Structure 1
Amino acid sequence: MTITTDSFTVRPFTRNCHIIWDEADHVLIGVSPGNSYFSAARITELARWAAPRFTAVDFVYADLHVSAVFAALGHAPEQAARRATKELKAVRRRILGGVEAAGPPGRRIGVRALSEFSGDPVYALLHRRVQHFLVTDEEFRKSCDRMVQQFLAPKLSAGESITSEQRSACLDYIAAELPFFLDTPGILGVPSSVSCYHALMPLTELLYGKGGGLRAARNQGYAVVRPEAPERSVDDDHRARAA
């Protein structure tokens, strides 16, 4: 279920995600601060690629709990706050510059920070659901723990274990992002939406699979979007199963 375009290779996670992709109502491109993948040039490429294909495009960058993560990694509180502020200013500047360099798109391209949605009732409800399932659903909690491990492993010294403070700060950071993987249409008022990232999350299988528990809305899709064609694997058909 891989789609090859002129600039990026797209892999919708399920058949339903592919249908939502074809509807082309809205695409959400999540941007992580401090991630070298999201250079200004990459943002420009993504904007030029997405604008002609979707009715609306939004870049959303994570700006919540960033200083808490730095503090948990050993920075003094003031230093953690300064570093977070510096990184968030840099990522916003890169996104705005990249979108501007893409030229007039003929489509709406939004640039928003996660913190802008803190007062949104739909976002707040979804965030509370995430927090509830972290406490009550073992499968969901284990998947989040794998995301914590994936996020923190490159930042720790060899043999160093994750502390409870680091785990808590990282879970807060992840929980703040998850509403947009659950129901972007509900938050932004669009008919359907595809959340795009350049890699699969450990939570993707759970959120977009069948069954009970915390699951993405039916009109919420997920796709891995990369600038080069991914290698085929024996898991491709499994990942493209019907939702």
Structure 2
Amino acid sequence: MTPSSEEPAPPAGHAARSGVHPPGFTVRALTEQGRLLLQRREHALVGLSPFNGYYKPRQIRRLLTWCHQVFARVDVFAPGYEAAHTLTSAGLEPREAVHRARRATSQLRNAALGALRGCGVADAEDRVHTWTMLANRPAYARLHDQVRRDYHHDPVIRTACRETARAALRTHSPHDPSERQIDGAVSYPLAEIPLLLDSPAIFRVDSSVFVYHREMTSFTPLILGRSASVRPNERQGYAMLIPDGHPGQDAPSGEDDAP
């Protein structure tokens, strides 16, 4: 794996105009290209995860306020109905799975909307997305269709999806998931991959940095361009945005951690 590049984020975007360097986070770019795209500070795509105690409203507010100060534009995404597939694969009844997924996604969306509005973003409603909402965008739909086809024969995509699904299922059950359970949960990572490959096209920006609070190791080979089927846009970056004093690992998962 290419060593990550770590830097305190220099002022840019809103921060550049105000001359204020926002404290509180450290940025680690996954690749050198990502570090260069970070310096452009044009667009951040911030990923939020359900059933993860890290993403409480206060933390989402801190995270999005920081990004708003640094990047010229910020978009946010949370999982759509695919989150319910993970829960049903873990053994929940479909009705309960849909209820819990909707509730978790609604909590994330409301927190993100509140944070962006608090930053003065006039079109906050247009900046918070779910995968379900993005399905109407041609660039997203095209990539989603492609990776779902390639999943069956591309080992890099298949491994990334199955390892991500396996890890998600483990947070909902004390037992290792079966291959059949993993089969039912891969729709979740398959829906996320288009955003890792080409968020510039999906959000109609010149360059974009996908921001998360830790490295998504299952996706690293895909991000590094090792798939024979798909490659990331050269203007697509990846970065970990880690709170000062935080090791960059997941907080305990589970809806009990969410307010």
Matched, 1:134 2:148: no
Q: 2:242 aligns with which of 226, 234, 243?
A: 226
Counterpart-to-counterpart distance in 1, 2:159 and 2:239: 22
The CA deviation string for residues 5-63 of structure 1, in whole angstroms up to 9 with x for no partner, is: 41111000111001111111100001112221111111111122111221110111111
Report the Cα offset of residue 205 of structure 1: 2.6
1:191 is paired with a residue whose SS is coil
2:19 is aligned with 1:3 = no
The aligned counterpart of 1:182 is: 197
Q: Which runs of 4+ in 1 moved over 4 A?
A: 105-109
Percent same amino acid at aligned positions? 26
After the TM superposition, which of the residue ranges 209-218 and 54-63 deviates more from structure 2? Answer: 209-218
Aligned mates of 2:205, 2:146 — CA distance in 1? 21
Residue of structure 1 in register with 2:211 after alignment: 196
Does the residue aligned with 1:22 lie in a helix, a strand or coil? helix
1:1-243 equivalences in 2 (<5 Å)? 1-5=5-9, 6-101=23-118, 103-104=119-120, 110-157=127-174, 160-211=175-226, 213=228, 214-228=230-244
**Cα displacement (A) at 1:114:** 1.6
Distance of aligned partners of 1:143 and 1:86 in 2 relative to their CA distance in 1, 3 Å threshold: closer
Task: Report the AA paired with residue 43 of structure 1.
Answer: I
**Structure 2: tracts of 5 or more residues without a match:** 10-22, 248-259
Give SS of 1:195's match. Answer: strand
Query: How far 1:185 moved relative to its partner?
Result: 0.4
Deviation at 1:170, TM superposition (A): 1.9
Cα-to-partner distance string for 1:119-142 (whole Å, 9 max, x where unaligned): 221111111221122111123312
**For the residues of structure 2 that align with 1:73 and 1:131, how far apart are their CA atoms?**
21
Letter in 1 for 2:139: V
In the superposition, relative to structure 1, how do residues 67 and 2 fare at CA in structure 2: closer, same or farther (>3 Å)?
A: same
- Deviation for aligned residue 1:80: 1.7
Q: Do the aligned partners of 1:146 and 1:202 also contact (CA within 8 Å) in 2?
A: no
Are the structure 2 counterparts of residues 47 and 97 from structure 1 closer, same or farther at C-alpha, using a change threshold of 3 Å?
A: same
Change in CA separation of 1:203 and 1:75 when aligned onto 2, cut-off 3 Å? closer
> Who is 1:237 aligned against?
none
* Residues 4, 10 of structure 1: 8 Å contact kept: yes
Q: CA deviation digits over 1:116-166, x for unaligned, max 9?
A: 111221111111221122111123312322222222223221xx2313442
Q: Does the CA-based 8 Å contact 1:27-1:194 persist in structure 2?
A: yes
TM-score norm. by structure 2 comes to 0.80
Q: Which has the higher contact order (CA 8 A, sep 6+)?
A: 1
Give the TM-score of the pair, scaled to structure 1.
0.85
Aligned residues: 229
RMSD, aligned α-carbons: 2.3
Aligned partners of 2:227, 2:187: CA distance in 1, in Å? Answer: 23
- In structure 1, the residue corresponding to 2:241 is in which secondary structure? strand
